[in-house]
């Protein structure tokens, strides 16, 4: 099983383009260095509820466009599941 890191990413803002979610994202996360596109969104109970499609807006007020992977209503607070890299065997002793 792969280890993951869970960080708070933002709050649900509104439904756009029919069924996509617009999320007001946390400005403290470095989106240019760590692109969240394709990563999974979790609710407060750590259930997978969505997938990040793109980051929109400027650096000071970013928004995330996401799609739902469940039929439930979008939760208010969302978290990002970031898979951690395994350490290479080359550095082991």
Q: Cα–Cα distance between 90 and 9 in angstroms, integer?
A: 34
What's CA 63's distance to the chain center, in Å? 11
Q: What is the pLDDT of residues 33-49, one digit of tens each?
A: 888 888 999 998 889 99
Average pLDDT, integer, range 43-64:
89
> Mean pLDDT in the chain?
85
> 65: which 2 tokens?
């466009």
How many Cβ atoms sit within 10 Å of the Cβ of residue 52? Answer: 22
**pLDDT value at 79 more than 80:** yes
Q: Cα–Cα distance between 66 and 23 in angstroms, integer?
A: 8
> 71: which 2 tokens?
């039929």
Residue with tokens 């992977």: 69
Q: What is the pLDDT of residues 1-15, one digit of tens each?
A: 568 888 899 999 989
pTM for this model (two decimals):
0.79
Domains in the chain, please, with CATH? 4-84 (2.40.10.230)
């Amino acid at each position: 099983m792969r280890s993951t890191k869970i960080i708070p990413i933002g709050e649900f803002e509104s439904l756009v383009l029919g069924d996509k979610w617009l999320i007001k994202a946390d400005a403290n996360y470095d989106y240019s260095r760590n692109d969240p596109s394709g990563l999974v969104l979790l609710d407060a109970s750590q259930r997978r509820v969505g997938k990040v499609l793109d980051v929109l807006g400027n650096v000071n007020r970013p928004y995330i466009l996401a799609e739902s992977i469940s039929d439930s209503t979008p939760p208010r607070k969302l978290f990002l599941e970031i898979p951690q890299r395994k350490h290479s065997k080359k550095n082991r002793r």
